[in-house]
Every structure is written in C-alpha cells, then in structure tokens.
C-alpha cells in the first residue's frame, strides 16, 4: 500500500468524520452484531472508528486494528489509551492486547500489521463477527473490492466513502476545473490498482448485492462552516496541490484561487461541503 496518512491529518479529520457518520445506519449495523462481537477494522489508522463505534456498541467487544503503517498503529494505541483514561476507564495493557475496563464491559483491542493490497487472502476475516473500515473504499480498485465482497460472510460497514460531490460557497470560476483535477487524482493508483474514487459507492453496492447481501447507504458529508478554520485551510491546500500536480501550466491561476480561499476562510466567509456516503452490507440469512 503506497499512500500513507499522517497522524495529524487523521486527528484533524476525526471530529468531522464522527459528526458526518449516519447515526441510523450505524445503529442498523450495531443491531446486526452478536453479543461480545469481534470486529476487524481495515486501514484502522489511529483507531478513530473504534473511538466512535465502541461506546455505541457497549458491552464486551474485541477489535483488531489492521493497517500497513506500524507508526500509525502504535500512535493509535497511545491515542486510544489517552482517550479511555480521559473518560475514567481503567486500562490493562498487555504485550499484545490493550484491555479497557468500562462500566458496560471490557473492550479488548489488538493490532496487526498488513499490507492491505495483499488481502483478503492474508487476513483472518472469516472468524470475525464483522468487518469495518472508514475512508478506505474510494482508495481501492474494483478487483480488490470484488475480492473483499467475495471473502465476507458477515456484516460489512464502511463509513466516509468519498462520492465526488463538493460544494464551495461562495462559488469561484475555477472550482469546476479544480474539481475535475481532483476527480482525476482520486483515480490514481493508491497501491491497490486504479482507485475507484467517486465510483466506489456504486461499485460496493453492486459487489455485495451480487453476492446476496442487503446493501444500504446514507449520506455522511463533511460540513465545514466558519468555525472549521484548520480543516478549511487543509482542504484548500490539498486541492491546490492536486491541481498543480495535474496542470502546472495553470500555476498562477491556482495560486490566486488558493490565496483567495485562505482569505475567505480567515474572514469567516467560506463554507465547504465534501460528499461521502456510509455503506452497510448485511449477509443473506443462512
């Protein structure tokens, strides 16, 4: 897996992810879990999906966080431990597993280092009660997604899949052009083959439905107003960088767009919506 994500970016986006996830779809997923579930989190990063879902699930639960980046996994356990202590939970750190003692039961977390491009063959997916991921499916290829759907016989829950929609207010004449560059970049190979990008939601629906899963999706857009200054600056910079990568001849126009957008954000005059969808796939009843 070639693309890596910095822990500071994951920390910056985490509250926006948590606010965006569709609560009703999350509850449908939780209702499909057995007591004391074992969940595998693909591309877990620093464990933000665990921190969002574990309190909603409640009760005893076991999570296996899988990522290709050893530093991110290590940071994830540090962040999870600090998060748990801040909530008054007791910790029991073991050699391979972190146990968090909560009023509703013990939450056990372990981590495994895997290059996700090698899966599903190298991962212990069959034994888990559910497989989850966040902000992953738009990075993978169609063959990879088809292989995943073919390997699963349990509930699958994927949040924050980018769907290509975005709205910037006030509008700018260059927005449409920059959006085209960004969509092109979304299809770049991220280590899994040509990425699905904005086609990921439709591809996931088709792949799981073809195998008899009941599939539902719900919007989970990032919504940034005048208070989301750090996130706005990060998105402006990322979009400008992508545009320069694909069209360096327009460097002057892109730089002017970048300066204007940063000024608008600083003055509280910029609103951004980035489109995502959550996906729930439930296996057919045996």
pLDDT for residue 5: 59
Omega within 30 of 0 (cis) for the link into 120:
yes
- Dihedral, CA atoms, 131, 137, 140, 146, nearest 10 degrees? 60
Task: For 114-139, write each residue's pLDDT tens digit.
Answer: 999 887 767 778 889 999 999 999 99
Among all chains, which residue has been given the structure tokens 């767009």?
A: 257
pLDDT for residue 6: 83
CATH class of the structural domain 7-165+194-223+275-282: alpha beta
For residue 46, is pLDDT > 70? yes
Mean pLDDT for 255-264 is 97
pLDDT for residue 118: 82
**Among 150, 124, 133, residue whose Cα is nearest residue 280:** 133
Inter-CA distances, 76 with 25, 110, 124, 245, 266, Å: 25, 11, 21, 31, 31
pLDDT for residue 122: 72
- Which pair of tokens denotes residue 107? 């939450």
For residue 276, is pLDDT > 90? yes
For residue 88, is pLDDT > 70? yes
Mean pLDDT for 168-183 is 93
Packing angle of the helix pair 48-57, 70-86 (nearest 10 deg): 40
Mean pLDDT for 136-160 is 96
Mean pLDDT for 182-193 is 91
Q: What pTM does this model have?
A: 0.94
Mean pLDDT of the chain, nearest integer: 93
Portion of the chain with pLDDT greater than 70, in percent: 97
Q: Is 233 exposed, middle or buried (0-12, 13-18, 19+ CB in 10 A)?
A: middle
Omega within 30 of 0 (cis) for the link into 170:
yes
Inter-CA distances, 163 with 11, 86, 180, 200, 243, Å: 22, 35, 13, 7, 19
pLDDT for residue 220: 98
pLDDT for residue 202: 98
- Which pair of tokens denotes residue 14? 């985490």
Mean pLDDT for 142-159 is 96
For residue 2, is pLDDT > 50? no
Q: Is 74 exposed, middle or buried (0-12, 13-18, 19+ CB in 10 A)?
A: middle
Are the beta carbons of 37 and 127 closer than 8 angstroms?
Answer: no
For residue 98, is pLDDT > 80? yes
pLDDT for residue 123: 77
For residue 238, is pLDDT > 90? yes
Question: Which residues, 6 or more positions from 198, have their beta carbon under 8 angstroms from its beta carbon?
Answer: 138, 162, 163, 164, 183, 186
**Predicted confidence band at 96 (pLDDT cuts at 50, 70, 90)?**
confident
For residue 37, is pLDDT > 70? yes
In the chain, where the domains are located: 7-165+194-223+275-282
pLDDT for residue 3: 44
For residue 87, is pLDDT > 80? yes
């Amino acid at each position: 897996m070639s693309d890596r994500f910095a822990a500071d970016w994951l920390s910056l986006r985490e509250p926006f992810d948590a606010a965006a996830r569709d609560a009703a779809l999350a509850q449908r997923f939780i209702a499909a879990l057995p007591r004391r579930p074992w969940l595998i989190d693909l591309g877990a990063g620093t464990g933000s999906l665990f921190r969002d879902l574990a309190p909603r699930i409640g009760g005893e639960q076991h999570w296996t966080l899988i990522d290709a980046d050893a530093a991110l996994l290590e940071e994830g356990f540090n962040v999870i431990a600090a998060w748990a202590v801040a909530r008054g939970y007791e910790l029991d750190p073991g050699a391979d597993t972190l146990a968090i003692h909560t009023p509703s039961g013990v939450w056990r977390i372990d981590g495994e280092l895997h290059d996700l491009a090698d899966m599903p063959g190298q991962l212990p997916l069959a034994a888990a009660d559910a497989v989850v991921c966040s902000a992953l499916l738009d990075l993978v290829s169609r063959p990879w997604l088809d292989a995943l759907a073919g390997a699963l016989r349990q509930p699958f829950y994927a949040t924050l899949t980018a769907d290509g929609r975005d709205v910037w207010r006030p509008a700018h004449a260059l927005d449409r052009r920059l959006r085209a560059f960004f969509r092109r970049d979304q299809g770049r190979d991220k280590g899994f083959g040509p990425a699905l990008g904005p086609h990921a939601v439709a591809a996931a629906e088709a792949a799981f439905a073809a195998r008899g899963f009941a599939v539902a999706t719900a919007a989970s857009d990032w919504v940034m107003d005048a208070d989301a200054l750090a996130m706005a600056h990060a998105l402006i910079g990322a979009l400008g960088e992508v545009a320069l990568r694909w069209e360096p001849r327009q460097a002057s126009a892109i730089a002017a767009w970048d300066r204007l957008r940063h000024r608008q954000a600083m003055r509280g005059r910029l609103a951004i919506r980035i489109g995502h969808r959550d996906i729930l796939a439930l296996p057919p009843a045996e």
